Each structure stands twice: as structure tokens, then as C-alpha cells.
Amino acid sequence: MFSPPYEQENFDYELKESIVRYSNALSNRLKLYKENYKKCDWVKKEDPFVIAMASYAQVDYGREYIYGMLALLFGVYFEEQNLGYTLKDSIIKNNSQSSIPLGVFFNESFKDISAIIFSSTTTIGKVSATIASKEDYAQNTVLTLYHDLMDEDIPFKINIVTPNSAELLEDGLFIFHNPNASNPLDLKFFNSPGITQIFIDKNMRVRYTGNHCPTIARLDLPNELINIFGDRIFRQVEAYNYNY
């Protein structure tokens, strides 16, 4: 799980799979809102409409991090070979000729969506990390790979979860704000230390606020295996930064 994307087999294939799933889910929720919820008496037209999504339906779902959502919502596509981004307006669905639009938050038809709540790390491993954050976790060692969004030189780092270096419950939760929403979601609404909020600034650049060190991946290993695989794990983290 700590292997950099360019070393992961079928990374781009799985990234496209995630984008297709997110696109279908988003379109279905939006259609439901327009045709049903929006007409309900208890739904106020001025209130933000926020959709919560996750990526647990796919094997190795955690590997795409937020890359699929960045592409679908903002058209910012992650290239695994150089660990960088490029702008795209569409992708071709795997094993087909179907085109999937990207950057849907810049499409007028998606203006009813105020924001997306998303996580790919709220798994059973979160339970282990929460326990290790509050007490001595004698059986295992919990390691997290996190993305330091403020460090351009060495952005990918590793943390051993302990009460002194705890993982917050909200860590790994992202809020993607729609820059063209009819009813924008205030950044203050999810103002929590563990939450990372992503938005587009006035210069059309992707910006982050809140938690600037979100978790990418997590390992929960028996203590005796740390001595065996520890060096390999740290080399993988170094490889993350090598081509960045």
C-alpha cells in the first residue's frame, strides 16, 4: 500500500475505473435531487446540497487517494509516471470507446451540487489508528503515509501512530467545493483540524485549507514484522518523493 503510483500495477486503469464509478454515482444523486428532493417541502432552495461519497466498491480502492475526485470535479488528472498533474476535459472508459467528461464542477448542469464529502481511508484500519492514538497498542504498530501539502520538496512522509503522534478521527476526510455552485458551502461549516477542504481560488488554481497533512494510506503490522519490513517501507516512502 505504500508503493508509489508508478510502481503499482494497473494504477491508471484503476484510476479510470474510479472516475467512472464516481461519475455515475454523482449523476444519479444529482438526478434524484432535481427530480425528487428539490420538490420536497422540507428542502429549502437556499440550502447547500452536499453529497457524501467513498470508494469502497473496488479492490485496492485506497490506492487512488483523491486523484479520481480531482479529475472528475476539476479536470486535474494525475499522471503516475511523473507524480504530476495535467488538465484534461475527458477520459475514455476502460475497454470501451465511451468518453467520460472531467471537470464537471465547471459544467452549468452541476451547479446544484455545493460540495462533495469524500474519503478513501475511513476503513477498519481507522479503528486501529484511533486505538493507537489514545493508548499503548502493544500488539501492532500502525504506520500512516501522509501528504504534506505545504512541503514541495519532500511532500510524502511516514508517521508511527502513538498518543504523541495521533491520527485524528476526521483525518482522511476531504471536502471538494464547487466553485460554480448555486448555493456555495461555507468553508467554515467543516472547519475541523482533521478535515482537508479543496477549492478553486479566483485565479483558477486548486487550493487546500484545513488539514495540510492528510493520510494517503495506512499499515497495521505485528511488531515483529516491523523489524523485517521496516527498511522496505521507508524505501517505498523515499520512492514516493524521488520522482515528485
The full set of domain ranges for the chain reads 5-242
Give the number of other CB atoms < 10 A from CB of residue 202: 7
Q: How far is CA 31 from CA 59, 113, 176, 177, in A?
A: 27, 11, 19, 19
Chain centroid offset of residue 154 CA: 19
Cell of 39: 420538490
Give residue 230's region: left, alpha or beta (phi > 0; psi -120 to 50): alpha
Radius of gyration of the chain from Cα atoms? 19
Q: From first to last of the 244 residues of the chain, give the pLDDT tens digit.
A: 677 777 788 889 989 999 999 999 999 999 999 999 999 999 998 999 999 998 776 556 567 789 999 999 999 999 887 778 899 999 999 989 899 999 999 999 999 999 999 998 887 788 888 888 887 777 788 899 999 999 988 999 999 998 898 888 899 999 999 999 999 999 999 989 899 999 999 889 999 999 999 998 888 888 888 888 888 888 888 887 866 5
